[in-house]
Amino acid sequence: MNALNELSAALVSVKDRGNMLKFLSEIHTPSELKDLALRWRLLKMLTQGYPQREIAGKLKISLCKITRGSRLLKSRGSVTKELIKG
């Protein structure tokens, strides 16, 4: 089993939100966690219908990151899209 498969298995085994936050904090730097949260926030804003330029201005990020997120949400069978809908 490669490292990515092992990591994904570890992630799905965590059932408690507090433990998941602790785990993520243990394996990521504060900067990496900030980037993950920012990515999630931009994806949520896209699903809420915010224009890309407005997102770029509010979050102070490039349109390239937002375009990537937009493409992801438009992808057929996107797991991220289902998770965002919650």
What's the Cα-to-Cα distance from 18 to each of 4, 21, 35, 84, rounded to whole Å? 22, 5, 19, 19
Q: Please write the tens of the pLDDT for every residue from 72-81.
A: 999 999 999 9
CA distances from 28 to 12, 35, 82 (A): 17, 10, 24
* Domain regions of the chain by residue span: 3-85
Cα separation, 11 vs 27, in Å, equals 11
CATH superfamily of 3-85: TrpR-like (1.10.1270.10)
Question: Binning pLDDT at 50, 70 and 90, where does residue 18 land?
Answer: very high
pTM of the model: 0.86
**pLDDT tens-digit readout, 22-55:** 999 999 999 999 999 999 999 999 999 999 999 9
Report whether 42 contacts 80 (CB < 8 A). no
- Please choose, from the candidates 66, 62, 75, 60, the residue with its C-alpha nearest in 3D space to the C-alpha of residue 42: 66
